[in-house]
Amino acid sequence: MEGADDRCCGLGRWNLAPLSKWGNVCLGLYFAVVGVFSIISIFTLLSGALASPIGFVLFLWIAVFGVFLVFGELDFPEAFIRYFFFLRGAYLRAGFILFVCTLALTAGFTGSISSVTNVLLLIGGFAALFFGILCFCYGADHNEESDGGFESSGNVGSKVSGASGASGKQSASVRNPVMAI
């Protein structure tokens, strides 16, 4: 088809950026809740945290990374996005989601805690695999210049073109030298 955006798998004509965004928000909330639930299930046994200190740290990171996913997709708060700028770009955010996927699948397959928690982590891990690939193919960049809209350029910090050409705004990495490093 002429004029069709074949960004991934020949399905470029579908606008799946909102599905990717809200799926990742739900996935982040899910990981935050399951991470806290996993930490609580470790502490139900008196010696649980002492027997599995690596599991405790792993579940803590899953919960924290779930919150990172929510903040990264919603572009909120601004101070968070300023320090974790990689969450604005679709490709790096997809890589982050796939990293969280590997953490959840590793924790789910090791079976170090209750079987309910393992199943919840496996469900979240496979969902993160799906949404990570979806974000890589259809995820939207969250640039400052786009005013919260969906832009599927794949460039973090790129300039947005207006009706009469370039808008003349600098990218965020140019305005803030800390982000350029």
Q: What is the pTM of this model?
A: 0.66
Helices (H), the chain: 17-44, 48-51, 53-74, 78-83, 90-110, 115-138, 172-175
Please check the confidence at residue 175 and state whether its pLDDT lies above 70: no
Q: Which amino acid, residue 32?
A: A
d(CA 157, CA 141): 9
Q: Distance of CA 146 to CAs 35, 54, 152, Å?
A: 33, 41, 11
Mean pLDDT value across residues 158-163: 44
Over residues 31-61, the pLDDT tens digits come to 999 989 888 877 776 566 667 777 788 889 9
Min mean pLDDT across 22-26, 91-95, 173-177 is at 173-177
d(CA 61, CA 125): 14
Count Cα atoms within 13 angstroms, Cβ side, for 54. 6
Residues 6+ apart with CB under 8 A from 107: 38, 55, 58, 59, 62, 118, 121
pLDDT of residue 78: 77
Min mean pLDDT across 3-7, 43-47, 104-108, 146-150 is at 146-150
What are the φ/ψ torsions at residue 12 (nearest 5 degrees)? -65, -20
